[in-house]
Amino acid sequence: MPKEKYDPPDPRRMYTIMSTEEAANGKKSYWAELEISGRVRSLSTALWSLTHLTALHLSDNSLSRIPPDIAKLHNLVYLDLSSNKIRSLPSELGNMVSLRELLLNNNQLRVLPFELGKLFQLQTLGLKGNPLAQEIMSLYQEPDGTRRLLNYLLAHKLDIYNLYSSLPTEQPPARSWISLQEPDRSRGSALFSVMCYNVLCDKYATRQLYGYCPSWALNWEYRKKSIMQEIMGCNADVISLQEVETEQYYNFFLPELKEQGYDGFFSPKSRARTMSESDRKHVDGCAVFYRTEKFSAVQKHTVEFNQLAMANSEGSEAMLNRVMTKDNIGVAVLLEVRKEMMEISCKTSRSFVTATV
């Protein structure tokens, strides 16, 4: 559900008309709402250029269709299409993810596009007075019916997508990397790549935070395979990861990456020390992996920011109040490049620090 407070438009709203004198003096007008009434049968294409609109009132007209271009009004939070003659809705309506209120009461809708399930910020959906299927109306009339119906539509949309995704389609091109600077090969150096990745711990991947994503796609057993494929696809020499669950580090990431020639260092957040063993395994933390054929670990460190704050607060209550409520940590590993990896002999230091928080 959206975190921002939503205040619906006031039905008793008042308007003022700018006088000729005000216009001559250069007064600027601002209007974020538009109402069109009078048994209108069709809408001007110029309407879709008013992208500043946040509310559009089109109720009590004779509209039979809504063009796909309505999705250009990406700032709309309120859309009232009630009491028209609309038989179907464009799938593009699902792209209007800013919508908080969508009123479709008293139309001639028999089906809803599955794309409506993407409206993860929608709080009010009006469907009364439409000849919709009983399955749809039963979901809609349940407690928290809007959310239940949107979840249903989103899940079925992805089922259809998966059905057709097995058909041969042209794959998107590979990502083009931009080289910012070529290395100076006249100096002693060892070329290596570093990857930073937030894996999103399972307990943070909730429907409340990611309402636009179906539950099965948030499930860790589904996500972890794609995450590992992406990590291995980058073929990095050093990998820094955040939000790694303790149990998943030891049972998944470390075994999988060791098979590919990596070793690692992991530290959970500070709260793990005060928990039982069964609870501790679900605490997330940070991890650093490195290729053992290229590097050897010299030192490994865990940085607890709340402990640092206590040691360096110098009596600042504001600093303590800001930091002590959290148990964020960081890890740092001092790595030494193996001699055989150096392109030319050199007497400079072969050590460097990699860290993640």
Strand, coil or helix: 60 = coil
For residue 178, what are the contacts with CB-CB under 8 A and spacing of at least 6?
A: none
Please state, rounded to an integer, the average pLDDT across all residues of the chain. Answer: 85
pTM of the model: 0.69
DSSP string, 5-37: ---PPPTT-------HHHHHTTPPP---EEE--
Cα 140 to chain centroid, rounded? 26
Structure tokens at 298: 């010299």
- Check if the beta carbon of residue 68 is closer than 8 Å to that of residue 89: no
Residue that wins the pLDDT comparison between 234 and 253: 253
CA distance 191 to 294: 10
| Domain positions in the chain | 28-162, 194-356
CATH class of residue range 194-356: alpha beta
Pick from 99, 42, 84, 49: which is nearest to 67 by CA?
42
Ranges 7-11, 62-66, 211-215, 230-234, most confident? 62-66
Looking at residue 324, the DSSP 8-state letter turns out to be T
pLDDT in tens, 104-129: 999 999 999 999 999 999 999 999 99
Mean pLDDT of 223-241: 92
Could you give the strand order of the β-sheet that contains 329-337, starting from the edge strand earlier in sequence?
295-304, 329-337, 351-356
pLDDT in tens, 28-61: 888 889 999 999 999 999 999 999 999 999 999 9
Nearest 10 degrees: Cα torsion 97, 102, 108, 110: 50
pLDDT of residue 164: 43
pLDDT of residue 1: 44
CA distance 54 to 31: 9
pLDDT of residue 72: 96
- Check if the beta carbon of residue 39 is closer than 8 Å to that of residue 109: no
CATH class of residue range 28-162: alpha beta
